[in-house]
Structure 1
């Protein structure tokens, strides 16, 4: 009987052999149900083999072949094999992690008919103005449906309460469901050269490109086969417009486009934008915010080729795309592209491999490219495309001012020049954004008598004060407790909040500007479903004067009336133990500063720092990423850090500190005995040595050649697997981003 090797979701670096009965029709890449241990498990058929090391009577038969969806393509299986090998993660777990949750179940899935919503005859005859004024969302839905039918996903982007309003409209008979037509690409897309400006450049939806943008589009569209382009454009330079024109070109060639974005918060607005530019093109999104069923449907549309544009976060890099012709990675420098558990892959790096594998161009876009990408562009591995001007005229880059807080009195972290600038914006009816990357009221509670600090007993961190519910919370392990009435050590009742968080800023600004509409945007205020999209609408509709936010507000958002950005407490990262901290800080401050002055109103950024003459702030003032990148690259080369070396980090954590250290010391000894051309460092505590009652330590290995490091890891990993670990958790992270 033929034998099939199956990938299963188990932490073993092997495939499992099963026999296939003659009446079963099975293709490589199909999902199968097989007996494993004492239950039925879902696997993916990976390869046929003629012989096996197991005794024939020990090989179990495949229980069921699932033919509910097409098999995974060979190209995708090859990509997953590469990821398993490069990141040293079990192949079965790698393959299964790439599937949507619904496709990992042993039950076949039923594919629902995709539905759209449209106006009924009664709905078309209805005078929307006769609806009660309080039915704002119903009015919004009816007006949108007068333009075009909408899907459920598009409906939800109109308002968080759209499903309830839609239900009422369906019951009233004004809206009806229709089966979605999966037709070919509509002819409403302008053909190349159909509408051009006086320079002969394509006009797409009345958006003319600048010369720099057109050069970038031409460079990518003329690329034959694989090519990696680094699109380095200042904030507001129109990178998205370039994406639109590249998409248009690839759609004309009947291709599919994969657009990767770093965070789920950016997908709804980008989805709306691209839908408005390509109304007749089937676009789907793939991210963890979707319900399991919707995510599976979108994944299957990508696999069938019906979805022409796939917009998603890092896991969508594994979406099967038979007609893939272009990959776009927006904000390519963002650390969110690196998975921090399970298969610790970098979606950007996997996307580059995938583009090379398929022979298609890939564009990495950023105002502050990662040093690795910048280094590759400087050395000629990537082609550098530059955008030096803001795309919307007369928009210009904001003026950046650094306030020396060693010479200024602060009121709860706010200097008088910043408060005056906010007041000016309020008088002009413009918006201000105060950026602080620290939620809560204050980072720590302190006793003024004995110096007691609110420390987390489960972590090597502090409990953050949350004033609204009078609680102390650990932002690392989630531990929570009530604020004590008196110091637990000396009994003194004088406990003071130390430092500034978003909630404290909100309170201070509300006191200073009692009539201002203040909106706080952080993980606490956006916890409820739909809260963030409602806030974003508030900001766009001019219903907020002062925004206080963490990094959620820093990226990708376009608020035309925002003209002032104030940055509080950015200095911590300048002297951090993490060698990437200043690179991340520069990117973050450039991004958040770039929110100001994106339309016809001039923007201003005020940074409050104790080190105004630091090279980082000098580069920010000059809007000169290149000088800063050169400075950092010179430092990295001297110190022997990436991108001049390649790294792997072995981390271990356990309830007993000694267990983690003993395991890593054994791992280090084994590494030294291999006598291979890599540097093996000593065992050291992790940046946070204790988290959630687990002690954490790590061991760094590096080499100046990627191939040498890969060969070493291939020899070392089986030894690590064989080491006695007990209840210890350990993980090998290739190209680590966090230490």
Structure 2
């Protein structure tokens, strides 16, 4: 009877996962690698992936448990998928079984073989139709030049295109060319957030479904039900789906004929998983493309500094610099856009209103107007100049977009008499005041309570909100614009999009539909509205309080703020014909207390390249990524002493033994996280840094057994969990 190595999801950091990445089972038949099976694990029956035959088992074979069932209706997973999972597990320091099983659709883990057979039988009744793709796409000279470069080079490619420059059309063109050339090829298109998937899916459906047939374009994201995700996964696995669109989870889709990978908005931190196996879908897409010989296109108007550096031209860092491993492709012009901006920004002028206007007659980005809030009355939410600009848009039938990346009415309630604040009893964070339902809500643990009628500490009835959130902006605009009328005589209509207003199924789609239809005059929102949306009537975008992001301790904060503001600015003036017919100006407003900050100075010129050069110079001097490589060991416990004690013991153990790569690795002392307590769990972290990725990987791999041993030691029994985060996106 054959013995098989099978990958199963063992409990995290358990004795089983620490001892072996694969478990051995008996089988009545020798199954090919990649076969899906159900096997006993303890008292449960779980999903497993056959990794190969066990020819070295030294024990008594009869003592091994047997494979319970084989999922015969599903073909074995391809070798390329097994290689991807194995690399991801090794690089991100997770067990092979955990990575393999979590990469599969959840429904596969629970279905019996009989249930799966019935589902496959229903699915087999739907057949795709014809096979020819239409490639007659009208490309402008910039798009045509980029497509020619992609066709004649291996890549990977960084498509650096201004917001509204037509990057999506390049994606469509490349997919169409490939699918016409190869009738079996598959394309993976990734987006950072769920709310961007339906609109991109609609464009791909419209372009390809008629030619390729129903079921040829599918989606994969966490907003789908388990049966929907399984259906999409099976369509990709069997080759029926020619195009898969999805969020970060889609990077693990089983696609045997994958030949093109597109990562849209590649800079977005959402591509990094923040729970469980903390992989970067963008980086895995690059690895997968290299492994398969597939072309990879990373697209962004504000690339991550890591990708920007990886696409640098030869000689950037000196005569001996051979350049980056990506090929940078540039599309600086916006299609059908109107406005003032990018090239040749002129001198700034400060008027009596306190607004700063910059711009030139050429270019495509909006005119930037900066308001120095130090010159405004205290507690001003909207400066007079900005309010007047919004009013003019409403009266002409245009739309305005107001950005504040903080939901709720106010971040905290405060008592001026005794200093009480609305702190969460379970987290080291404030409870946010939500005025609409009169609640205090912790955005970390979810704890909610009613707003007190008076200060719980001293009884003062005058407790006040501090700071501003999107609820407050919406309420303030409704008050300030109550007498402003649209061209049809109706009062101005204000709407809000954030995580609170889009909880219900279909709520986001409904609100976006109202915006696209022109039923909304002013849209207030968080970063959810700042990227990817094609609002044709928006001629004004305003960032009301962007300064908060500059106070972060994370060295990536300036990069992310610049990206957010430039992406938001790109929502304005996307329809040149409409703007010309209106005779309007396209503007981006910034209300700030720090108008001289380097981020805003770069924005005044819409100069991403200059901003990136300045940031990279700082990071090189500080030996920060991309000039160094990092990992974080995090420990969670009931007390901060226990959490930091585990990390100190781990560091001491590493220092006491000659671990590979240790000479090139620096281990920092443990510290609490910025929000150190969440849901009554104390959190601490320890940063590990190295100029060599190889040395860091060797060190972490050799350190793993020590970390497992420490976790099982009685001294650390009170530890709740520990984890390794390779290439962390926040420190």
TM-score range, shorter chain: 0.7 to 0.9
The answer to which of 626-635 and 390-399 deviates more is 390-399
Q: Match of 1:517?
A: 493
- How far apart, in 1, do the equivalents of 2:607 and 2:557 lie? 18
- How many Å apart are 1:273 and its aligned residue? 1.2
Q: How does 1:705-716 map to 2 (within 5 A)?
A: 705-716=692-703
Q: Are 2:467 and 1:475 equivalent residues in the alignment?
A: no
- How far apart, in 1, do the equivalents of 2:725 and 2:551 lie? 25
Residues 84-104 of structure 1: CA deviation (Å, up to 9, x unaligned) = 111110100100011001111
- How far apart, in 1, do the equivalents of 2:379 and 2:517 lie? 30
Q: CA separation of 1:49/1:696 partners in 2, compared to 1, >3 Å: closer, same or farther?
A: same
Q: CA separation of 1:393/1:505 partners in 2, compared to 1, >3 Å: closer, same or farther?
A: closer
- Structure 1: runs of 5 or more not aligned: 116-177, 191-202
- How far apart, in 1, do the equivalents of 2:725 and 2:209 lie? 42
Residues 303-333 of structure 1: CA deviation (Å, up to 9, x unaligned) = 1111111100001101111211110000000
Q: Are 2:158 and 1:182 equivalent residues in the alignment?
A: no
The answer to which of 392-401 and 622-631 deviates more is 392-401
Q: How does 1:209-228 map to 2 (within 5 A)?
A: 209-223=139-153, 226-228=154-156
1:293 alignment partner, one of 227, 239, 243: 227
Q: How does 1:566-577 map to 2 (within 5 A)?
A: 566-577=542-553
- Secondary structure in 2 aligned to 1:41? strand
Q: Are 2:321 and 1:338 equivalent residues in the alignment?
A: no
Q: Match of 2:359?
A: none
Contact 2:158-2:297 within 8 A present in 1 as well: yes
Q: Are 2:68 and 1:79 equivalent residues in the alignment?
A: no
Q: CA RMSD in A?
A: 1.6
- How many Å apart are 1:289 and its aligned residue? 1.2
- How many Å apart are 1:106 and its aligned residue? 5.1
Q: How does 1:337-486 map to 2 (within 5 A)?
A: 337-378=271-312, 379-392=323-336, 396-409=364-377, 413-486=381-454
- How many Å apart are 1:649 and its aligned residue? 0.1
- How far apart, in 2, do the equivalents of 1:464 and 1:60 lie? 52
Q: Match of 1:35?
A: 40
- How many Å apart are 1:411 and its aligned residue? 5.6
2:49 alignment partner, one of 40, 44, 48: 44
Q: CA separation of 1:324/1:215 partners in 2, compared to 1, >3 Å: closer, same or farther?
A: same
Q: Match of 1:148?
A: none
Count matched residues. 657
- How far apart, in 1, do the equivalents of 2:111 and 2:203 lie? 37
- How many Å apart are 1:362 and its aligned residue? 0.4
Contact 1:284-1:310 within 8 A present in 2 as well: yes
- How many Å apart are 1:276 and its aligned residue? 1.4
- How far apart, in 1, do the equivalents of 2:166 and 2:122 lie? 34
- Structure 2: runs of 5 or more not aligned: 313-322, 340-363, 483-490, 580-584
Contact 2:640-2:672 within 8 A present in 1 as well: no
- How far apart, in 1, do the equivalents of 2:723 and 2:699 lie? 16
The answer to which of 41-50 and 619-628 deviates more is 41-50
- How far apart, in 1, do the equivalents of 2:70 and 2:64 lie? 17
Contact 2:338-2:586 within 8 A present in 1 as well: no
- How many Å apart are 1:671 and its aligned residue? 2.2
- How many Å apart are 1:674 and its aligned residue? 3.6
- How many Å apart are 1:407 and its aligned residue? 0.5
- How far apart, in 2, do the equivalents of 1:277 and 1:370 lie? 30
- How far apart, in 2, do the equivalents of 1:486 and 1:574 lie? 34
Q: Match of 1:730?
A: 722
- How many Å apart are 1:113 and its aligned residue? 6.5
Contact 1:412-1:508 within 8 A present in 2 as well: no
- How far apart, in 2, do the equivalents of 1:411 and 1:560 lie? 33
Contact 1:231-1:365 within 8 A present in 2 as well: yes
Q: Match of 1:197?
A: none
Contact 2:220-2:232 within 8 A present in 1 as well: yes
Residues 354-408 of structure 1: CA deviation (Å, up to 9, x unaligned) = 0000011100000010010001111321100001110225562111111100011
Q: Match of 1:587?
A: 563
1:278 alignment partner, one of 204, 208, 214: 208
- How far apart, in 2, do the equivalents of 1:625 and 1:671 lie? 41
Residues 111-155 of structure 1: CA deviation (Å, up to 9, x unaligned) = 35778xxxxxxxxxxxxxxxxxxxxxxxxxxxxxxxxxxxxxxxx
Residues 288-313 of structure 1: CA deviation (Å, up to 9, x unaligned) = 11111111111111111111111000
2:463 alignment partner, one of 478, 495, 508: 495
- Secondary structure in 2 aligned to 1:731? strand
Q: Match of 2:171?
A: 243
Q: CA separation of 1:670/1:222 partners in 2, compared to 1, >3 Å: closer, same or farther?
A: same
Residues 421-472 of structure 1: CA deviation (Å, up to 9, x unaligned) = 1101011110011100111111111112222111111111111111111111
Contact 1:33-1:106 within 8 A present in 2 as well: no
- How far apart, in 2, do the equivalents of 1:616 and 1:412 lie? 23
Contact 2:400-2:541 within 8 A present in 1 as well: yes
2:537 alignment partner, one of 546, 561, 584: 561
Q: Match of 1:16?
A: 23
Residues 37-82 of structure 1: CA deviation (Å, up to 9, x unaligned) = 1232221111112121333332122122121211111110111011
TM-score, scaled relative to structure 2? 0.88
Contact 1:681-1:701 within 8 A present in 2 as well: yes
Q: CA separation of 1:541/1:477 partners in 2, compared to 1, >3 Å: closer, same or farther?
A: same
